[in-house]
Structures are given as structure tokens and as C-alpha cells.
Structure 1
């Protein structure tokens, strides 16, 4: 295999690696997860509200109040507390979704930076490999000339001795 063929093969391998890196990003996975969560909330708003209400009712049942008499006033307060807890749950869920989206964008940015770094490093390695291959070719050429010169001298010495 000639030096040019080796260089071309190395270029092809580097380009194939860069293409594979471009196709695979974790940021895409994070963005998809965020979109799926947002889509679920948009497609199932009643289930989301019901979940918030369920959490509110559970908290209202768990938190003990003074006495256990069920009066109209206590029922109204419990319902108000449950509604407040449901609203808090929805607000918290929305905040989580926003945070997940922000984390996905941040992760995507970081992965983009990592991809740039890897690409830059690969280009540097490619240049270094190309330079080393050229140096090796120059060394081999110089060695070949040296061997050729020594062989010619030896042949002339033999001819001089013979003839």
C-alpha cells in the first residue's frame, strides 16, 4: 500500500468517525424526553389535574387537624387545602417540565461543545498523522538513496577489482 493510499484510507476513517459522531447526540435523547413529557401534559390535562388533586387529598388526609370532628368549616378548609395542593402540584409539575427542557438544552449545548472538541482533535490527529506519514516517506526515500549509492560504490569497486 502506497503512502497516498494509506493517507486516503486514514482520511476516510476519520470522515466516517465524524459522521457517526454527528448522527449520535445525547442532547437529542434529552430533548425527546422533554417533548414527550410536555406532550403527555398537553394530551392528558385531566389526568395531570387529577394527579395533583389526588396528591392534595392525600396531604389533607395525612395532616392532622385539631380534633377530628367533621364540620362544614373543616370540610371547606380541607377542600380549599386540597385545591391549593392541586394547584401547587400543577405549578411544581410545570416547573419540572421547564427545568427538564432547560436541562435538555444545556445538555445539548454541552454535547455540541464536546463534538466540536472531538472534531478539532480528530483534525489535529489527522494533520499529525499526515505529517508523520510524509516524514516517514522522506526518511524511506533518503534511506533508499543511501542504499543505492552504497550499492553503486560496491559495484564499482567490484568492477575495478575484476577488470
Structure 2
């Protein structure tokens, strides 16, 4: 653990107490990013030098500013789908701060993939025939799934045999 990154665990800050009593390890090198400029940008972000980190991405054409929400969502969706087509074996993630934006991004990506034939579409048929969507009631409301949809489980469920973070595909 890194006491600069994680919140204290529980009442009384036991992680801090353990670190003070027996010492601690500190992450000293960036491992996730491979390019040196990305490593430096990560250090900049972690050190609250956000402008410097953003400048590094902007200098390499990796920062794109938009004028409004609709334009931003459209660009995120287009970039995601284009990268998926260009690099089908790679992984990618599209993130947003607000749940409404997350839903809009997911819906836009699904619509694009359905339009291109990479994701099934059709009427809501409970039989699950190929090309049809299935609708299920979840604790967050009704959700439709189609053959080819990727699902990330967000909690453990012994009955389903899944753990938080597991991926599934319909």
C-alpha cells in the first residue's frame, strides 16, 4: 500500500500505525506506462502537476478538447469504435465521471457496434435466438443484452459464480 494513495483502512488508521511501527515500502518507478514521456506524465499527475501531465499528452496529439457534452460524447464513442476496429485484440476503456454520461457512452458504443454488425440487434425476444436482444431486470432497472455484449461484474455473487471485476460475454 501507499499511504499517499489509499485512504486509511477503518477507524484508527491501522495502516498508518503499522507503517510507523514496522516501516513501509514505497513505489518508486512507473511500470504501467512504457514510453518515458508517459511515465513522466504519470509522475506529474501524482505530484499534483496536472498542467505538466496534460501538456505532455497535448504535445503528442492525445488530448482533445470539445465545446460541449454532446460533441464530447460523440468523439469518445467514435474514438472507442475506431480503436476497437483498428486493434481488435487490444483492450480499451471509456470512462466518465457521471453515470448519465457512462450510460450515454455505453448506449452510443452499442448502437455503433450493432450498426456495423459486430453486436447483435433485434426485437426483445426472450428465447435468445441469434440476433435478438434479451432484457433482464437488474437492481438498477431493466437492461438489454445482445449476443456479443461484454459484461463486467461489479460484485461477487456465489449463485452466479462470479467475482467483482470478472468479464463475461453474452
Q: TM class by shorter-chain length?
A: under 0.3
The one of the two structures with greater contact order (alpha-carbon pairs below 8 A, sep at least 6) is 1
Looking at secondary structure, tell me which structure has more helix per residue: 1
Looking at secondary structure, tell me which structure has more strand per residue: 2
TM-score normalised over the length of structure 1: 0.17
The structure whose Rg is larger is 1
